[in-house]
Structure 1
Amino acid sequence: MSFFIETLVGGLLAGVMYSLVAIGFVLIYKASGVFNFAQGSLVLCAALTFVTLRERGIDLWLAGLATLVIMVALAIAVERVVLRPLVGQSQITLFMATLGLSYVIEGGAQILMGASVHELDLGIVDVPVEIGPILVSQFDLVAAAAAGVLVVGLSLFFNWTRTGIALRAIADDPQAALSIGIRLQRLWRIVWGVAGFVALVAGLLWGARQGVQFSLTLVVLKALPVLIIGGFTSIAGAIVGGLIVGAGDALAEIYLGPLLGGSVSTWFAYLLAVGFLLVRPAGLFGERAIERV
Structure 2
Amino acid sequence: MDGFDFAFFAEVLVGGLLSGVMYSLVAIGFVLIYKTSGALNFAQGAQLLFAALTFVSLVERGISFPLALLATFALMVLLGLAVERVVLRPLVNQPPITLFMATLGLSYVIEGAAQMLWGTQVHALDLGIADEPLEVWGILISTFDLFAAAIAGTMVALLSAFFRYTHVGLAFRAVADDTYAAIAVGLRLPRIWATVWATAGTIALVAGLLWGARLGVQFSLSLVVLKALPVLMLGGFDSILGAIVGGLLIGALEKLAEVYLGPFVGGGIESWFAYVAALAFLLVRPSGLFGQKLVERA
Structure 2 length-normalised TM: 0.96
How far residue 150 of structure 1 moved from its aligned partner, in angstroms, is 1.6
Cα distance in 2 for residues equivalent to 1:261 and 1:160: 48
Is 1:130 matched with 2:135?
Answer: yes
**Aligned 8 A contact 2:152 2:207 in 1:** no
SS of 2:192's equivalent in the other structure is: helix
How far residue 104 of structure 1 moved from its aligned partner, in angstroms, is 0.5
Alignment of 1:247-266 (within 5 A): 247-266=252-271
Cα distance in 2 for residues equivalent to 1:166 and 1:64: 29
SS of 1:85's equivalent in the other structure is: helix
Match of 2:89 in 1: 84
Match of 1:232 in 2: 237
**Aligned 8 A contact 2:16 2:251 in 1:** yes
Match of 1:7 in 2: 12
Alignment of 1:64-103 (within 5 A): 64-103=69-108
Cα distance in 2 for residues equivalent to 1:119 and 1:97: 31
Letter in 2 for 1:108: A
SS of 1:28's equivalent in the other structure is: helix
More deviation in 195-204 or 158-167? 158-167
Match of 1:241 in 2: 246
Letter in 2 for 1:142: F
The CA deviation string for residues 27-79 of structure 1, in whole angstroms up to 9 with x for no partner, is 11122221100000000000000001101111111110100000000011001
SS of 1:287's equivalent in the other structure is: coil
Cα distance in 1 for residues equivalent to 2:210 and 2:266: 32
Match of 2:3 in 1: none
How far residue 262 of structure 1 moved from its aligned partner, in angstroms, is 2.9
Cα distance in 1 for residues equivalent to 2:167 and 2:292: 22
**Aligned 8 A contact 1:50 1:67 in 2:** yes
Alignment of 1:124-203 (within 5 A): 124-203=129-208
Cα distance in 1 for residues equivalent to 2:160 and 2:26: 16
Cα distance in 1 for residues equivalent to 2:129 and 2:240: 26
How far residue 236 of structure 1 moved from its aligned partner, in angstroms, is 2.2
Structure 1 length-normalised TM: 0.97
Letter in 2 for 1:78: V
Match of 2:124 in 1: 119
Cα distance in 1 for residues equivalent to 2:60 and 2:152: 27
SS of 2:135's equivalent in the other structure is: strand
Cα distance in 1 for residues equivalent to 2:145 and 2:32: 23
How far residue 292 of structure 1 moved from its aligned partner, in angstroms, is 3.1
How far residue 233 of structure 1 moved from its aligned partner, in angstroms, is 1.6
Letter in 2 for 1:150: M
How far residue 237 of structure 1 moved from its aligned partner, in angstroms, is 1.6
Letter in 1 for 2:231: V
SS of 1:265's equivalent in the other structure is: helix
SS of 2:271's equivalent in the other structure is: coil
Cα distance in 1 for residues equivalent to 2:155 and 2:35: 16
Cα distance in 2 for residues equivalent to 1:14 and 1:221: 14
**Aligned 8 A contact 1:33 1:171 in 2:** no
Cα distance in 2 for residues equivalent to 1:238 and 1:160: 19
Match of 1:40 in 2: 45
SS of 2:41's equivalent in the other structure is: coil
Aligned residues: 293
Is 1:105 matched with 2:107?
Answer: no
More deviation in 183-192 or 252-261? 252-261
More deviation in 11-20 or 91-100? 11-20
How far residue 266 of structure 1 moved from its aligned partner, in angstroms, is 1.5
Match of 2:66 in 1: 61
Letter in 1 for 2:152: A
Root-mean-square deviation (Å)? 1.0
More deviation in 226-235 or 87-96? 226-235
